[in-house]
Amino acid sequence: MTADIFPLPCGLFYDELVSSIDNARLKILTCQYQWKWNIHQRHSHVQRLGAAVQRAKARGVVVSVVLHQESPSRHLTRINRVSGDQLARMGCLVKHFSTSTLLHAKLWTIDGNVSFVGSHNISTRSLTQNEEFSVKIVSVEFAREIEKYLELLWR
């Protein structure tokens, strides 16, 4: 498998992901352990990332999101429900994935050739305060493997 790989420590991930979303033309698939959409933080990184997703939807890009779900009373489940509802209102396809194991993956594929894999949750803390590390991988073959995995989760 051939690929161009770009390391994205800390805040570089956010900038590169938003740029890739802004360049998306066909489809965006993502799987997130946590997507913490703070509706009261209008200019946060999370809100601006959400705005990029909304712009993609306006261009006709299909956006599918898999979010981790624990028991209904768990705090993470409530966080992801708020985000899932917001994404669904924007026209995204959203699935809350529940299993006996923890869905801890943080994956993105864009247009079947750009992928992001790493430790970044979609939260203000992860995008601005934590020492996170992700990579951008440009490879049709690699994106195809990520898409297969996300399709399995979707089913």
Task: State pLDDT tens for residues 2-44.
Answer: 999 999 998 899 999 999 999 999 999 999 989 898 766 677 8
Whole-number Å distance between alpha carbons of 118 and 69: 19
Taking residues 112-135, report their average pLDDT: 90
Which tokens in the block code for residue 79?
């966080």
Whole-number Å distance between alpha carbons of 116 and 148: 15
Determine how many CB atoms are found less than 10 A away from the CB of residue 26.
13
Taking residues 51-80, report their average pLDDT: 90
pLDDT at 105: 86
Q: Give the Å distances, CA to CA, from 6 to 9, 95, 101.
A: 10, 29, 30
- The partner residues of 66 in beta bridges, in order of sequence, read 31, 95
Confidence of residue 118 (pLDDT cuts 50, 70, 90): very high
Taking residues 48-66, report their average pLDDT: 95
Q: Is 152 a residue whose pLDDT tops 70?
A: yes
pTM of the model: 0.92
For the chain, which domains are there? 4-154 (3.30.870.10)
Q: Give the Å distances, CA to CA, from 73 to 65, 102, 145.
A: 21, 16, 33
